[in-house]
Amino acid sequence: MLSNVAVPLLAPVHPFELGVLCEVFGLDRGDDGMPVYDFAVVSAEGPTLSTHAGFTISTPHGLERLEEADLIAVPTGGSYPTRGYPEELLAALRRAVDRGARVLSVCSGAFVLGAAGLLDDRRCTTHWRYSAALARRFPRAVIDPDVLYVDAGPVVTSAGTAAAIDACLHILRQEHGPEVANYISRRMVVPPHRDGGQAQYITHPLPRSRCDTMAGTLDWMERHLQEDITVDRLADRAHMSPRTFARRFLQETGTTPYRWLLRQRVLKAQELLESTDETMDVIADHCGFGNAAALRHHFLRTLDTTPNAYRRTFRGDPGTPDLSRTATL
């Protein structure tokens, strides 16, 4: 049973991510019948650490405190993707896993786990902005950039910022059951489980062509998403055979014409869901899906959430009651 939590810090500390861990595991809710943890913030670099917000954090606890922990949670830091890490910290993380403790990373904290060798041949995630850098630095890591968190045995990795809340609630749910996780989520005024993954938060995940061959074709495709676009039609515009066009498209974009077009249509649907009150059928027609059922099918497969859920998340549902008033829990 989870009872002892330690949070090792490297500078510069990001206060929000540290605050999430303090809120979930460091706040005494014993009077409400909730678990109480032996919680400690640990410094891996001396008693005082800087933050990216300009203030400092002091703690009396050193790395020896990690040896007692059932869970070691590593929050993000501003320079984690490129910096080195103290070997004493990496060794402590490896020992923790060897003795059956859990480790959790928040956002770019995954780079610390990678340096400890804990992501080798293990599924994991990080903030979508850092997933390519994580793959380059730790090529044996099996990175899923689309999810909010990954539970891979004793190693739990979460995506950017608020995804730490999702991962922490997941750990609470596993350790103490849904009642505890749901209570904490209500206290924090967050959903106990969020639909979808971080793919829905990525602005433009598909790379544009670096060559001149496809640049004009890609621009044309973006302007004509609502039309029936086939490889034969695209090849004819590019003055190539369909087979040559498909091969060249894959070489320059890293994906197929169908997948590129589908992702652009979903991106356009995201934009319209955020910025208009149009019906699903109108949006589907404008984006080239034809009908609302096809829009929902492809939206769900691409972003792991529905168009209606996406609209509620990013725009708010005019039909829902006003929840802006403060409630005491």
- Does residue 281 lie in a domain region? yes
Q: How many residues does the chain have?
A: 329
Task: Specify whether 72 is located in the same domain as 191.
Answer: yes
Q: Are 265 and 225 in contact (CB under 8 A)?
A: yes
Domain count, the chain: 2
pLDDT, position 270:
86
- Does residue 227 lie in a domain region? yes
Q: Does the predicted model carry a pTM greater than 0.75?
A: no
Domain that holds residue 96: 4-199
Beta partners for 58? 48
- Does residue 322 lie in a domain region? no
pLDDT, position 311:
87
- Model confidence at 7: pLDDT above 90: yes
pLDDT, position 320:
43
Tens digit of pLDDT for each residue in 40-70? 999 999 889 999 999 999 999 999 999 999 9
The b/e string for 92-102 (b: 16+ C-beta within 10 A; e otherwise) is: bbeebbeeebb
Single out the residue of 264, 262, 278, 261 nearest to residue 315, CA to CA: 278
- Does residue 325 lie in a domain region? no
CATH number (domain holding residue 85) = 3.40.50.880
DSSP string, 176-194: H-HHHHHHHHHHHTS-SS-
Task: Specify whether 51 is located in the same domain as 104.
Answer: yes
CATH number (domain holding residue 302) = 1.10.10.60
- Model confidence at 319: pLDDT above 80: no
CA 50 to chain centre: 25
| Backbone phi and psi for residue 5, each to the nearest 5 degrees, phi listed first | -125, 135
Tens digit of pLDDT for each residue in 111-146? 999 999 999 999 999 998 899 999 999 999 999 888
Task: Specify whether 108 is located in the same domain as 255.
Answer: no
Single out the residue of 124, 87, 93 nearest to residue 108, CA to CA: 124
Tens digit of pLDDT for each residue in 87-114? 999 999 999 999 999 999 999 999 999 9
Higher local confidence (pLDDT), 204 or 221 = 221
Single out the residue of 132, 173, 203 nearest to residue 110, CA to CA: 132
Task: Specify whether 61 is located in the same domain as 150.
Answer: yes
pLDDT, position 99:
96
pLDDT, position 206:
45
pLDDT, position 263:
87
Q: How far apart are CA 97 and CA 78, in angstroms?
A: 25
- Does residue 205 lie in a domain region? no
Tens digit of pLDDT for each residue in 259-288? 889 988 998 898 898 888 999 999 999 999
Task: Specify whether 96 is located in the same domain as 72.
Answer: yes
Task: Specify whether 158 is located in the same domain as 232.
Answer: no
Provide the residue type at 104 as one letter: L
- Does residue 327 lie in a domain region? no
Domain final position from 175, 199, 223: 199
Single out the residue of 225, 210, 196, 215 nearest to residue 288, CA to CA: 225
- pLDDT above 90 covers a percentage of the chain that reads 62
Q: Is the peptide bond before 139 cis (omega within 30 degrees of 0)?
A: no
Tens digit of pLDDT for each residue in 158-199? 998 789 999 999 999 889 988 898 899 889 988 776 665 555
Residue 294's pLDDT band (boundaries 50, 70, 90)?
very high
Q: Average pLDDT over the chain, rounded to whole? A: 87
- Model confidence at 329: pLDDT above 50: no
- Model confidence at 244: pLDDT above 70: yes
Q: How far apart are CA 299 and CA 294, in angstroms?
A: 8
- Model confidence at 219: pLDDT above 90: no
